[in-house]
Amino acid sequence: MFQSIERVPGDAILGLIQQFKDDPNPNKVDLGVGVYRDEHGNTPILRAVKQAEKQLIDTEQTKAYIGSHGDPQYGDYILKTVFGADHKVLAADRASATQSPGGTGALRLAADFIASQLPGHSIWLSDPTWPNHLGVFGAAGLDIQRYPYVDAHNQLDFDGMLAALKKIPEGDVVLLHACCHNPTGFDLNHDQWQQVLAVVQERGLLPLVDFAYQGFGDGLDEDAYGVRLLADNLDEMLVTQSCSKNFGLYRERIGCFIAVAADTEQKDNVRSQLAITARENYSNPPAHGSAIVSTIMSSAELTALWHQELDEMRNRINGLRRKFVDGLKPHGLDQQFAYVAEQRGMFSYTGLTKAQVEKLREDYSIYMVASGRANVAGLNDDNIDYVCKAIADVVG
Ligand code: LMR
């Protein structure tokens, strides 16, 4: 029966991990998959996480199932982190949190929820977007449409985006990146978020906000501006959240799917559907990640340490953005790449072509995604001049 099964290429981003490992060049540089790296190229376990894990070894009482919505304490902490502790949707009990296996698991819950409960509605994704958005929403059988996000000069195309949003049919779902847009690094400013809100209201759209990088752009609260603005003004919205990046819990698979409804009863109806969706997908989410996050957030001391470590990661990335542009000065390319310093989060859409990305890999063992997306966190003092020189070479 399996003779007719075709081999398909693996995921392009995850494939880079192996390619990089296999490369014997001692000067190789990994600017591929979106994991944070420190000055030595490592992805360390946060000190707050280590301390929480030590506590858990002694205090954890059971490994029994935690239920389809996961740990309620974790859900409460995430709602407060996303919306702010005093937000009106929390006071009115209008928001439901379902713990998920990573941000991707939250996206799949969103996809299945839209497919089963909002049939006939398309989902609109920025062009470009994280490639796996296409995979996850496609696998759930949703009709996928695109709105422009970047122009021919590799700048944010806000006018194009807004014009496209104005034509989306009523009730369709529009996916917005809360901050640290993946893959481009171009974020909306406050005024632009307000314009998006106006169109969402005018057209009666349902926003699904992908919030995978809270704290990696400008700060935990600053990065939540768009999400909170929408929640201030809309009856209904969806949010997918992840602790992969801001807690460095990539392999623990810990995220959250949030649904905001007009009132508590509707929220509870939606919530009942999500319990079924989770049950049919994976039954119960894994518990270790939520136990770590809850342990950190229930301790003032560990929360302060986590905030400090998150600040360190963010400041390092933003510092690297400036160093990168400075490093291109001797090659006369600092003006051309000036926007890299303004982008936010781990990623930069460099504007390099597929052929230039290939040349970087073949001639210099510098790895980035074929779209020209670079993970800025992969730069450090030892490799930044090498990378700048190599880019100058491939740009010609
Ligand atoms: C990325 O975009 O590199 C990360 O979100 C990791 C992934 O799963 O693709």
Query: For the segment 239-257, what is each residue's pLDDT rounded down to a tens digit?
Result: 999 999 999 999 999 999 9
Question: Whose Cα sits closest to atom 5 in ligand 1?
Answer: 34
| One-letter-per-residue 3-state SS of 84-142 | CCCCHHHHCCCEEEEEECHHHHHHHHHHHHHHHHCCCCCEEEEECCCHHHHHHHHHCCC
The answer, yes or no, to whether residue 192 has pLDDT greater than 90, is yes
CB 226 within 8 A of CB 193: yes
Sorting pLDDT into bands at 50, 70 and 90, what band is 238? Answer: very high
**Mean pLDDT over residues 352-356, rounded?**
96
Residue found under tokens 């809360």: 178
The answer, yes or no, to whether residue 396 has pLDDT greater than 90, is no
CB 227 within 8 A of CB 178: yes
Q: Which of 132, 249, 347 to mutate to test the pocket of ligand 1 (most atoms within 8 A of CB)?
A: 132
Residues forming beta bridges with residue 347, ordered by sequence position: 375
Say how many Å lie between the CA of residue 364 and the centre of ligand 1. 23
- Ligand 1 nearest atom to the CA of residue 375, by list position: 3
Mean pLDDT of all residues belonging to the chain: 97
Residues 234, 260: Cα–Cα separation, whole Å: 9
CB 214 within 8 A of CB 224: yes
Instruction: Tell me the whole-structure pTM to 2 decimals.
Output: 0.97
pLDDT of residue 372: 95
Residues 51, 32: Cα–Cα separation, whole Å: 29
Residues 259, 279: Cα–Cα separation, whole Å: 17
Which residues surround ligand 1 with Cβ inside 6 Å? 13, 33-34, 130, 132, 182
Proportion of the chain above pLDDT 70, given as a percent: 100
**Mean pLDDT over residues 14-43, rounded?**
96
Question: What tokens does 376 get?
Answer: 């800025």
Say how many Å lie between the CA of residue 379 and the centre of ligand 1. 17
Structural domains of the chain in order of their starting residue, each with its CATH number: 2-44+313-395 (3.90.1150.10), 65-298 (3.40.640.10)
Sorting pLDDT into bands at 50, 70 and 90, what band is 228? Answer: very high
Residues 100, 285: Cα–Cα separation, whole Å: 6
CB within 8 Å of 199: residues ≥ 6 apart: 162, 165, 166, 205
Residues forming beta bridges with residue 258, ordered by sequence position: 97, 239
Residues 185, 32: Cα–Cα separation, whole Å: 14
Size of the chain in residues: 396
Q: Which of 11, 14, 18, 33 to mutate to test the pocket of ligand 1 (most atoms within 8 A of CB)?
A: 33
Say how many Å lie between the CA of residue 346 and the centre of ligand 1. 11
- Ligand 1 nearest atom to the CA of residue 34, by list position: 3
Residues 169, 178: Cα–Cα separation, whole Å: 22
Residues 172, 335: Cα–Cα separation, whole Å: 39
Question: Whose Cα sits closest to atom 4 in ligand 1?
Answer: 34
Does the annotation count 210 as an active-site position? yes
Taking each helix axis from N to C terminus, what angle separates 131-139 and 102-117, rounded to the nearest 10 degrees?
40
Q: Strands 255-260 and 237-242, how do they pair?
A: antiparallel
pLDDT in tens, 283-331: 999 999 999 999 999 999 999 999 999 999 999 999 999 999 999 999 9
Question: Whose Cα sits closest to atom 6 in ligand 1?
Answer: 34
CB within 8 Å of 246: residues ≥ 6 apart: 213, 214, 215, 216, 220, 310
Question: What tokens does 32 get?
Answer: 């591929």
Say how many Å lie between the CA of residue 62 and the centre of ligand 1. 32
Does the annotation count 245 as an active-site position? yes
pLDDT in tens, 131-178: 999 999 999 999 999 999 999 999 999 999 999 999 999 999 999 999
**Mean pLDDT over residues 86-105, rounded?**
98
Question: Whose Cα sits closest to atom 9 in ligand 1?
Answer: 13
